[in-house]
Structure 1
Amino acid sequence: MLDYVMPQGWTVLADIAAWGVIHAATGYAAHRLTPQWLARDHRLLRPLAFEQGGRWYRRRLRINRWKDALPEAGALFAGGVSKRELPALDKSGLELFVRETRRAELGHWWAMLAGPVFMLWNPPAIAAVLIGYGIAINLPFIAIQRYNRFRTEPLLRRAR
């Protein structure tokens, strides 16, 4: 552990910087995924029975009340797409939106799954807090992307 090498203040700064790098790197990696790869749901993205086509998010999490209050960084990288609103109501606009929800969801999954890296230089209790932080920060964004995708896919089926 780096607590023998770095003073506690520097460790805190390293933790903050590490989360920043993790989010930037996973966001950029997701940004680089091809539209063809994002054209379908892969393992992490597949709908689960309890989600009931997005109804669970609305009923249990009341996601429709708070989702718009969270930041949206889809257009952060050149060529990126904001998911604040549908780009268009035609088939290509709906397909683009669904692909972008997959891209964003994957970026947040990857960032959350990188949490155990903090075990390398933090005491176990602090590492657990930092992993918990990663889960707490990323799960709401994952839920929003899934909810939006589940709401958009029926429109896309009708457009096709």
Structure 2
Amino acid sequence: MATQQSTVDYIMRQLASVSGISANKMFGEFGIRCDGKIVALICDDQLFVKPTAPGRELAADAADLPPYPGAKPSLLIVPDRWEDAGWLSALIRATADALPAHIPQAPTSHKKIISFQALGGWASPTFQSFSWEIPADRGTLNRAMVMVTRYRRTYNRLAAAWKPCIVVS
């Protein structure tokens, strides 16, 4: 069962006093961010706050339950506690302050640079050195070699003059 937009709107109205707060749709449910950090999840119309020491002090009666199967346990905040906007805002702010700063990860690329460099002097200046950005698996290397051989008369001449080397960057 997905979270209703009215539940998210109500919680966000209660958290309006917290600066830097936003809700993002994530996999059919919602994540609540404070200062760029995910501090809570709204899953199946229930509010789950990340467990931190200050958060546990404020929400001593909250149960530790996973928001979805396979997730780490979080503090389940019952809907009766949502009505106290001051308490809920203090809980979210304390949790955000206790969490480490968000460090954006560099985008991972499955692509590698494959460079073919000429070892002999017979190749034309156009083919002395060139590179493609393609996935570096065995099949792609074979296809790249086939492409290179199409520009030369024989494979033997090509194999003697060119040496493929993979440069990972």
Taking structure 1 as the reference length, what is the TM-score of the superposition?
0.21
Greater percentage in helix: 1
Q: Relative CO higher for 1 or 2, CA cutoff 8 Å, sep ≥ 6?
A: 1
Taking structure 2 as the reference length, what is the TM-score of the superposition?
0.20
